[in-house]
Structure 1
Amino acid sequence: MYVQQFEEHLLRGTATERSRGPAYISRFERWDDLASVRRRPRRHFAAAGLELYFPPELYPVVLHPLVAAKGSAVVKGLLLQRLYDYLEFTTELETLAVIPVATKISRGRSGLFLPGRMMSDAYKIVTDESWHAQFSHEFTCEIETETGVPWSLRGTSAPPAFLLRLDEIRGRLPRDLRGVEGLLFGIVSETLISGMLSEIPRDDRLPLSVRNVIRDHAEDEGRHHVYFRSLLAHLWPALGRVEREVVGPLIPEIVYAFLEPDYAQTAHHLRDIGLTGEQIDQVITESWPAGRVRSSVAAAAAQLTRYLREVGALADQGTLAAFEEAGLVGPVYDTPGLISTKVAE
């Protein structure tokens, strides 16, 4: 098992026989001066009594009449649980998805022919992501101690939704391509998360300590965004025509695996506040209508979609059709049955 893990590459085949990507320009020259693990203090939770724990607009179930009718204390409690979910998602994402990929890259086992500096920089990403996972977990524990309210999902065996979605995608790949979904999910998550983190630190309704934790994370992820954009520029030319035709149409599903809400997690919290199964279905369906989810995902993924177009991924008709069907290119559906003129590119 351990020798197999040592030898296994994310992309099978001989790296030196694959096409090489463009020249690599590092964004980590001043990593010692800029990385949060090097220069930022350990953040400690502190909150005033009237502050929100998470922006309600980013968790629309709390705005639903069936939830709002439960009272402001229930709404505030759900927003606290959403903050816990966010912090634990960060820990799981880093440890289970990003660090394994960055580690393979750093050790020359990505399956790609990468510049030496690019492999060295991957070590710094591993260090950054380990710190993000650590401070997110420790911050969660501090909030639980300070508020006396535990994370309601602690101790459950339910994996985060993105892992279940990735397993399903991996299961549909030919055996000789399994592993490439990890590279693609790393590219998707690391180029999209910096945008997801950009707004929350500016929301002064939230505790300053929460905003500082997310700001520290966001600053590091800005460098990671540039790195993984470069990784995409190395990955796509390295894939053969048949590999591209297989992998390309699955990219929209990988985007949704990362960006789509975790409905099961939300259902758990709504059950905890006393909603019935029928009410839970109503709240989730009406809070996240399919058309709105599609338009939100398309908007969040627009920059990544442009990167994919630049490397030629959308030149394949099967891939382009999958992106169109997922609403990632072409008209964006703002509400079911209503087509907006906004273009998701």
Structure 2
Amino acid sequence: MYLEAFQQQLLPGDAASRSSRLDYNSRFERWDDLAGVRRKPRRSFEADGTKGLALFFPPELYPVALHPLVTAKGTTAVRRLLLQRLYDYLAFTTELESVAVIPVAIKISAGQSGLLLPEHMRADAFKIVTDEAWHAQFSNDFARQIAGETGYAPQGPIRTPPAFVPRLDELGDRLPPQIKGVESLLFAIVSETLISGILSDIPRDRRLPRSVCEIVRDHAEDEGRHHVYFRSLLRHLWPALTPRERRAIGPILPSVVYAFLEPDYEQAVTHLTAVGLTASEIEQVIAETWPPGTVRAAVAEAASPLVRYLAEAGVLDDARTQEEFESSGLLDSGPTSHTVADGAPLLHIPREFS
């Protein structure tokens, strides 16, 4: 098992037989001066004044908390849900980095991407490994601090797989055996080019504890560099694929996007149950908060930068791939009133929480 894992490439096949490009502009020249792991302090959750704050997490990014059936339970229930959403965000960060990004970046740094990449691009991948390990560690540490200060621990089992994990397993089963495994590379590109946009507004939200804003800002600053790196990786990947591989991979890319951005409905069920909603009420809350059309519009808006990068790389040149993007709604990304983080669209916000 270990030898197989050691030898496995992200993209199967002989890398030397693939076309390659040498251009790469690094954003990591000043990594020692700029990386959060090098210069940011350990963030301490600040309990002082927290009881007077309305929010632990922006309700725009978790709108089930503002459904009338939830608000009828009182402000304590709403705040408890938003605290759980903060825990979810921290756990998601830890799992995303450790399960989805670090293994890919390690393979790239070791020359096992299946692509012929410039040497300094491989070296930068190891810096990303270090960044992401720091993000996973400080997220886990911060969650432990919150539990200790508030007395409210995260709900559910100690460790549950985030929704993207089974979704990626399903995608892997749809790929031809000769390129199975490339979904991990695709998901890293998708998540790393979209996460910085999701994080951008949270540090400026004055409704949140200052320490929450600080830890998200630390994450976002590093992810800005990762965004540029993985956008560049996409430009190296697509020309290196054979026409047959492109035809196989292109049509599943919308599902990769949804694996990252679509709400985690099962997680919401767990939290809504904990605040006292019945099964029928939970079904109503989820159906009215996340109707399919709203989710499609919100995912399309959040994914629009990535869709543009894919088009620039030539991904949408294939007719079937473009058809899949159209049918999934990802090409309908005009301005909307929705905001996405893990697929969460915006609802009307009562004055008390604005």
TM-score range, shorter chain: over 0.9
Q: Cα offset for 1:205? A: 0.3
CA contact (8 A) 1:187 1:229 kept: yes
Q: Cα offset for 1:57? A: 1.3
Correspondence for 1:7:
7
Equivalent positions of 1:272-287 (< 5 A) are 272-287=274-289
Correspondence for 2:46:
46
Larger RCO (CA within 8 A; separation ≥ 6): 2
Residues 99-139 of structure 1: per-residue CA shift (max 9 Å, x gap) = 00000000000100000000000000000000000000000
Give the letter aligned to residue 250 of structure 2: G
Give the letter aligned to residue 95 of structure 1: S
CA contact (8 A) 1:327 1:333 kept: no
Residue 19 (structure 1) aligned with residue 19 (structure 2) = yes
Give the letter aligned to residue 172 of structure 1: R
SS in 2 for 1:328: coil
CA distance in 1, matches of 2:258, 2:336: 16
Correspondence for 1:80:
83
CA contact (8 A) 1:97 1:182 kept: yes
Give the letter aligned to residue 161 of structure 2: P
Residues 196-252 of structure 1: per-residue CA shift (max 9 Å, x gap) = 000000000000000000000000000000000000001100110010001000000
CA distance in 1, matches of 2:22, 2:74: 56
CA contact (8 A) 1:198 1:218 kept: yes
CA contact (8 A) 2:301 2:336 kept: no
Give the letter aligned to residue 163 of structure 1: V
Give the letter aligned to residue 118 of structure 1: M
CA contact (8 A) 2:20 2:117 kept: yes
Correspondence for 1:105:
108
SS in 2 for 1:301: helix
189, 200, 203: which is aligned to 2:202?
A: 200
Correspondence for 1:232:
234
Detail structure 1 runs of 4+ shifted over 6 Å in the superposition.
Answer: none
> Residues 253, 333 of structure 1: CA spacing in aligned structure 2 closer, same or farther, 3 A cutoff?
farther
Correspondence for 1:338:
none
CA contact (8 A) 1:291 1:333 kept: no
Give the letter aligned to residue 181 of structure 2: G
Correspondence for 1:212:
214
CA distance in 2, matches of 1:224, 1:277: 41
Q: Cα offset for 1:333? A: 10
Correspondence for 1:325:
327
Give the letter aligned to residue 17 of structure 1: S
Equivalent positions of 1:129-208 (< 5 A) are 129-155=132-158, 158-208=160-210
Give the letter aligned to residue 122 of structure 1: A
Correspondence for 2:310:
308
Residues 158-201 of structure 1: per-residue CA shift (max 9 Å, x gap) = 42100010000001111111111011000000000000000000
- The more displaced of 80-89 and 270-279 is 270-279
Give the letter aligned to residue 162 of structure 2: P
Give the letter aligned to residue 30 of structure 1: R
State the TM-score, normalized to the length of structure 1: 0.95
109, 115, 119: which is aligned to 1:116?
A: 119
Residue 93 (structure 1) aligned with residue 96 (structure 2) = yes
CA distance in 1, matches of 2:329, 2:174: 22
Correspondence for 2:346:
none
CA contact (8 A) 2:22 2:118 kept: no
The number of equivalent residue pairs is 334
Correspondence for 1:265:
267
Give the letter aligned to residue 76 of structure 2: A
Over the matched positions of the two proteins, sequence identity in percent amounts to: 61
CA distance in 1, matches of 2:183, 2:335: 27
CA contact (8 A) 1:90 1:132 kept: yes
CA distance in 2, matches of 1:6, 1:168: 23
Q: Cα offset for 1:2? A: 1.1
CA contact (8 A) 1:292 1:333 kept: no
Give the letter aligned to residue 285 of structure 1: A
CA contact (8 A) 2:190 2:257 kept: yes
SS in 2 for 1:141: helix
Q: Cα offset for 1:153? A: 2.3
CA distance in 1, matches of 2:59, 2:118: 44
State the TM-score, normalized to the length of structure 2: 0.92
CA distance in 1, matches of 2:102, 2:138: 15
CA contact (8 A) 1:54 1:83 kept: yes
CA distance in 2, matches of 1:332, 1:173: 31
Q: Cα offset for 1:332? A: 5.8
Give the letter aligned to residue 213 of structure 2: R
CA distance in 2, matches of 1:333, 1:200: 20
CA distance in 1, matches of 2:213, 2:263: 21
RMSD over aligned Cα, in angstroms?
Answer: 1.3
CA contact (8 A) 1:185 1:254 kept: yes
> Residues 306, 22 of structure 1: CA spacing in aligned structure 2 closer, same or farther, 3 A cutoff?
farther
